[in-house]
Chain A
Amino acid sequence: MSAKLERLSQILRIVFDGRLRSLVVNRGEITIEVGAEDYLAVARTLRDHAELRFEQLMDLCGVDYLTYGNGKVECKPGRRFATVLHLLSIEHNWRVRMRVFSADDNFPVLDSVCDLWPSVNWQEREAFDLVGIMYSGHPDLRRILTDYGFVGHPLRKDFPVSGYTEVRYDTELGRVVYQPVTIEPRENAPRVVREAGYGEAGHV
């Protein structure tokens, strides 16, 4: 671990004493996890604390952990919908990743950080649209990428790749019609998780 990462993780540990659910340093990146109740306060400190100064929120995205581990591990309640933020400090030239899980899997809610970083407005809309996480306090939480009147959240793991509806032009009606999908989802290469050392010489 480089000296810089060491320093940042120390500062994070000191500043957020007790509020960090975990702090992982892996592949040169720091990931912190905080609870949904601390989220807004931690985010504010990350931005304003003189030794942290994360003035830019690079990215916010939703992640659905429903099928993580390819069915070998069961998704625990309250560990399904995460919001992942990537923060960048121009002043100190470092990054941090923050993960927050929403407690209720049936209706995931999280506070909006729109007031802290205005850039996040559309990214929260996107996470709402594609993953279905609600951001309370967001000024304008509309769908953004999917069609007008779209139902469902496409990036959820229980949403099929082929979707539920398809669109075509109907010559008789003279307009575009929506209908249930007519294609079957197919999988050419199955999804597998191999044990460590698979394919190495001498591995049985």
Chain B
Amino acid sequence: MSEIRNYTLNFGPQHPAAHGVLRLVLELDGEVVERADPHIGLLHRGTEKLTESRTWLQSMPFMDRLDYMAMMCNEHAYCLAIEKLLGIEVPERAQYIRVLFDEITRVLNHLVLIGSHAFDIGAMTMILYTFREREQLFDAYEAVSGARMHPAYYRPGGVYRDLPDSMPKYKPNRFKNESQLKALNAAREGSLLDYLEDFFERFPKCCDDYETLLTENRIWKQRTVGIGVATAERALALGWTGPMLRGSGVAWDLRRKQPYAVYDRLEFDIPVGKNGDCYDRYLCRMEEMRQSTRIIRQCIEWLRKNPGPVITDNLKVAPPRREKIQGDTADMEGLIHHFKLFSEGFNVPEGEVYATIEHPKGELGVYAISDGANKPYRIRLRTAGFVHLAAMDELARGHMIADVVALMGTLDVVFGDVDR
């Protein structure tokens, strides 16, 4: 009789369903997974080490590159850590802008997640629809910061600049005539807030469309219901946060429980799952997009009515206004501050803080230690993806190999986030 052995399969490092670079060593008994051993670190860029040799402000753009599906949320956590260490206040308008863009980011993240999750399982159409909406939100990113993917928009003490009064428009070319352009530019005639209001007017309808495609879809349910089940106790023990934890029925959301920025002044609900499987987590994320829409509408309303400064006036942390540096109105004081800020940077008082936000994927914690210098002594990034992927082995055991793909989708891993 021939010897029967388990079959070991290498999933990745370059696999379309691996959501980046993951080498997953699967030990199989037939088609059933006996053990899953994720090998991560293929995208490790040493962010934590690099921050130690740069000033506090120079490290800020690194944060965009952590979880490159939810850029501004990472920046928010990092800025919160610095602000907590410095003990400075952020202007109210800046806090509303941050919440507005945090929620846009949450929608961006969930759109990719749901689109690519469905794509992995075989529903090709979803990703085309979700990316259609995602592009329009990237235009909002671009309008405010100049960059679509890595905005570097938040600053310690506020945000880089106020929301723009006009949106960039499409220009005529040999592929698009005037009437086509008019339709394309229809939403872009007003300010950024008008643009966003128009988008989020239409967005609930888009969510309905996604739900028509997936929620009652027989194949989608067969692939997700009862897959990767975690009870509430197990989810807590595994360190899950965010939609992963809420999918298992624990109503824990930092925006509510430990509010930061202005979340305590906004109305929204926390969706919670029941069974803790892939399907419930999908439903939670779907509902979160609708709740984000609610939050965004409230922010837009507030931002329209309340103009004001968007960055702290503490010149030791934030640069002076342009007029103070350049031209006839420049003064020496402004020049010195500007020069000091962008050469030596600001000094952060000695101490340590752990700043957390409710990132679209879960809890993002920035543990910053300062020894009083112009550079961090140590920055530790607690990312949700890393912890969630660690549960892969436990979730995959006993499932079929095809379910591993469904699990990868539901864990919502992004390798910038996992490998840092």
Contacts and interface: CB of A to CB of B under 8 A. Distances in A.
A189 B55 contact: yes
A26 B351 contact: yes
Contacts of B373: 70, 191-193
Interface in B305-356: 316, 340, 343-345, 347, 351-354, 356
B345 A189 contact: yes
Nearest to B347: A194
Interface in B356-374: 356, 363, 365, 367, 369, 371-374
A93 interface: yes
Interface residues of A, number: 47
A136 interface: no
Contact of A27 (B84, B344, B363): B84
A44 interface: no
Contact of B237 (A84, A97, A119): A119
A107 interface: no
B103 interface: no
A63 B41 contact: no
Interface residues of B, number: 57
Interface of A: 26-29, 31, 55-59, 61, 63-64, 68-70, 84, 86, 90, 93, 95, 97, 117-123, 126, 130, 144-147, 154-155, 159, 161, 187, 189, 191-194, 198-199
Interface of B: 40-41, 44, 46, 48-50, 52-55, 58, 84-85, 87, 236-241, 250, 252, 257-258, 316, 340, 343-345, 347, 351-354, 356, 363, 365, 367, 369, 371-375, 377-378, 380, 382, 386-387, 389-391, 394, 419-420
Given A27-B84, A97-B352, 15 more contacts: A26-B351, A59-B365, A63-B378, A68-B371, A70-B372, A117-B237, A118-B239, A119-B237, A119-B240, A130-B48, A145-B419, A161-B46, A161-B50, A189-B344, A199-B340
27 contacts: A26-B351, A27-B87, A27-B353, A29-B353, A29-B354, A55-B236, A55-B237, A58-B356, A59-B354, A70-B373, A90-B250, A93-B258, A95-B354, A119-B240, A119-B387, A119-B390, A122-B386, A122-B387, A145-B41, A145-B44, A145-B420, A155-B49, A161-B53, A187-B53, A192-B347, A194-B347, A194-B374
By Cβ-Cβ distance, the 4 closest A-B pairs, closest first, are A119-B239, A145-B41, A59-B382, A122-B390
